[in-house]
């Protein structure tokens, strides 16, 4: 018999509450406190019998390769999330101001929240897309940008190492000064703006805390946007769509716009290769 707890927590055949491990108890307490239980692979079934009705938990058939994506509400993260989800991965996306209702809301500056989400979900792979990537915002709020791009990245790397997750840190070609392209992996970085400097510091913080992590330095991105200013490619259209306005554009930079779906596919292929090496 149950112990008088709510029916869902205490099914007929015994009191689940009294069979839980410490970690399960901690997770349930967090859920009951409204904190959510990341990637919990249980479904609820309504059962009827003459005279009573109750909810029963049952296992749900979800893919067993787990990936956690930070910045899943952003231009790249949305595509990375879809790519993994569409290829039979159990994917959990984290966002911040735009997280609800689809994603976990996790402030990456909150080390306890980051610890909890990673410990709860136990991902095999983490794709760290979240960053402050707007150079003008980094210049105007350097401390906040450094907290997110450097300190939070180092902390995610440490947490990833603790659960043995393979981490991909998304970096940028802004770590180079552009004087001698094309660049190879071992070319010396020399960022010219503060954004590039914080991303390079982020790379170092990641590798110092997790030597098995991968750093992916990608160029300017384009893809499906929620707002034109989300991509440096489409933001131009915002400036020139009305012919009564003028806009300044430079005509000397050579850049290589890259489709977010291609980057997402590379992340998944890297993750799957790593899984093969590690678990076969
Ligand atoms: N965009 C480019 O052209 C480009 C080029 C090269 C490299 N990159 C790199 O690619 C990655 C993705 O860029 P993106 O363009 O997709 O960025 P984005 O669209 O600006 O998205 C930024 C993401 O970071 C999240 N975020 C911001 N502050 C957070 C916080 N305190 N806690 C948790 N999450 C937070 C945002 O969540 P909410 O929106 O929910 O608040 C959003 O999901 C970045 O690492 C960037 O440096 C981008």
222, β-bridge pairs = 259
SS3 80: helix
Cβ 117 vs Cβ 104: under 8 Å: yes
pLDDT at 13 over 50: no
90, β-bridge pairs = 66
Give the residue, 241 or 37, on which the prediction is more confident: 241
Pocket test for ligand 1, best of 130, 144, 167 (most atoms within 8 A of CB): 130
Give the residue, 49 or 201, on which the prediction is more confident: 201
pTM for this model (two decimals) = 0.84
* CB of 267 closer than 6 angstroms to any ligand 1 atom: no
222 is catalytic: no
Give the position, in ligand 1's atom list, of the atom nearest the Cα of 233.
Answer: 3
Proportion of the chain above pLDDT 90, given as a percent: 65
* CB of 107 closer than 6 angstroms to any ligand 1 atom: yes
* CB of 97 closer than 6 angstroms to any ligand 1 atom: yes
- Residue spans per domain, the chain: 16-62, 66-279
Strands (DSSP E) found in the chain = 42-49, 52-59, 66-70, 90-95, 104-105, 125-128, 166-172, 214-218, 221-222, 258-259
Give the position, in ligand 1's atom list, of the atom nearest the Cα of 99.
Answer: 40
The CATH number, out of the four listed (3.90.180.10, 3.30.70.2190, 3.20.20.370, 3.40.50.720), of the domain defined by the range 66-279: 3.40.50.720
The tokens of 115 are what? 């610890």
Lowest average pLDDT, out of 2-11, 169-178, 191-200, 252-261, goes to 2-11
> What's the mean pLDDT in 182-203?
97
Active-site choice (81, 96, 169, 195): 195
- Distance from the alpha carbon of residue 184 to the mean position of ligand 1, in angstroms: 24
* CB of 170 closer than 6 angstroms to any ligand 1 atom: yes
The CA distance from 134 to 193, in Å, is 11
* CB of 156 closer than 6 angstroms to any ligand 1 atom: no
pLDDT at 120 over 50: yes
* CB of 172 closer than 6 angstroms to any ligand 1 atom: yes
pLDDT digits (tens, 9 = 90+) for 131-163: 999 999 999 999 999 999 999 999 999 999 999
Q: Residue 4: exposed, middle, or buried by beta-carbon count in 10 A (0-12, 13-18, 19+)?
A: exposed
Residue 58 confidence class, pLDDT cut points 50, 70, 90: confident
pLDDT at residue 103, as a whole number: 96
């Amino acid at each position: 018999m149950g112990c008088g707890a709510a029916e869902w927590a205490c099914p007929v055949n015994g009191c689940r509450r009294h069979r839980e491990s410490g970690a399960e108890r901690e997770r349930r307490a967090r859920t009951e406190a409204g904190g959510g239980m990341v990637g919990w692979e249980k479904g609820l079934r309504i059962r009827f019998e003459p005279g009573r009705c109750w909810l029963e938990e049952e296992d749900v058939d979800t893919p067993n390769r787990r990936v956690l994506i930070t910045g899943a509400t952003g231009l790249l993260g949305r595509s990375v999330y879809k790519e993994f989800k569409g290829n039979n991965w159990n994917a959990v996306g984290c966002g911040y101001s735009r997280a609800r209702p689809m994603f976990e809301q996790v402030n990456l500056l909150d080390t306890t929240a980051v610890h909890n989400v990673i410990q709860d979900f136990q991902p095999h792979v983490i794709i760290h897309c979240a960053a402050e990537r707007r150079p003008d915002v980094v210049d105007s709020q350097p401390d906040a940008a450094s907290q997110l791009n450097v300190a939070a990245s180092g902390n995610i790397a440490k947490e990833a190492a603790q659960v043995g997750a393979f981490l991909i840190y998304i970096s940028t070609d802004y770590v180079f000064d552009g004087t001698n392209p094309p660049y190879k992996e071992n070319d010396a970085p020399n960022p010219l703006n503060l954004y590039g400097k914080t991303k390079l510091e982020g790379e170092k913080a990641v590798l110092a805390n997790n030597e098995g992590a991968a750093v992916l330095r990608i160029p300017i991105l384009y893809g499906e946007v929620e707002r034109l200013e989300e991509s440096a490619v489409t933001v131009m259209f915002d400036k020139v769509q009305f012919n009564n306005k003028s806009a300044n554009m430079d005509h000397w930079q050579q850049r290589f716009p890259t489709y977010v779906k291609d980057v997402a596919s590379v992340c998944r292929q890297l993750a799957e290769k790593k899984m093969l090496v590690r678990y076969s």
